[in-house]
Amino acid sequence: MKIVAESGLDGLTMARLADEVGASIGSTYRYFPGKAELVAALQAEAVARFASHLQDALVAPGAPTERVARAHLAYLTFADAAPEVFALIDASLSEPRRVLDDAAAAAVEASLEPVLAVCAATIDDAVAAGALRPGDAVVRTHALWAALHGVSHFRKRDGRTAVSSSRLAEEVVGTMLAGWGLDGPS
């Protein structure tokens, strides 16, 4: 994860990994047959760590739409809590090329599904409480994640512009919730 945080996915090679951990290149292949499997394992670990962060974000009670906001904003607060792990998630989401083969990508998706289900459940709960209009919670979760992923790229501008990334994130979430039936931002 440290290598990805420093150099992106392209900087992660089996040779660099071996050098970083003080092992021979051959020994790294004992654990990971190739880079795709290594990246998949790192992504699954990153998702597991994010899942824990998400659960912590949802411990406190709150109005249904507050829980929706907290669940989805956890993606950005994770950037502060675990920057190297967040960098791996960010790199995998930002990379326009397919990095993993189908089998490795399916394994990562399987680890991500429960996390997305938790986020979608907060939306379903808000709908059940009458705070949001009915709609596809999975699509809404992906829409919020996509928007907040974009906001995460604005973090590098914090302190240089009049609009902070945290303010932008609040606006994005509030606007989306308003579009789904909430009266005003959360």
CA of residue 114 relative to chain centroid, distance = 13
144 lies in a domain?
A: yes
pTM, rounded to two decimals:
0.84
14 lies in a domain?
A: no
Which residue in 34, 49, 72, 33 sits closest to 1, CA to CA?
49
Q: What's the total number of domains in the chain?
A: 1
Confidence of residue 55 (pLDDT cuts 50, 70, 90): very high
pLDDT of residue 76: 92
Whether residue 159 is predicted with pLDDT greater than 80 in this model: the reply is yes
58 lies in a domain?
A: yes
Average pLDDT, the chain: 89
Whether residue 1 is predicted with pLDDT greater than 50 in this model: the reply is yes
Residue with tokens 């995460």: 152
Domain range spanning residue 151?
A: 35-179
Q: How far apart are CA 128 and CA 122, in angstroms?
A: 10
Confidence of residue 185 (pLDDT cuts 50, 70, 90): very low
Please tell me the number of Cα atoms within 13 Å of 38 on its side-chain side: 21
Confidence of residue 182 (pLDDT cuts 50, 70, 90): low
25 lies in a domain?
A: no
131 lies in a domain?
A: yes
Mean pLDDT of 123-134: 96
User: For the domain that residue 48 is a member of, what is the CATH number?
Assistant: 1.10.357.10
12 lies in a domain?
A: no
Mean pLDDT of 51-66: 95
Q: What are the tens digits of pLDDT across the range 70-120?
A: 999 999 999 989 988 888 888 777 677 777 788 888 888 888 899 999 999
pLDDT of residue 183: 52
22 lies in a domain?
A: no
19 lies in a domain?
A: no
Mean pLDDT of 46-73: 95
Mean pLDDT of 35-56: 91
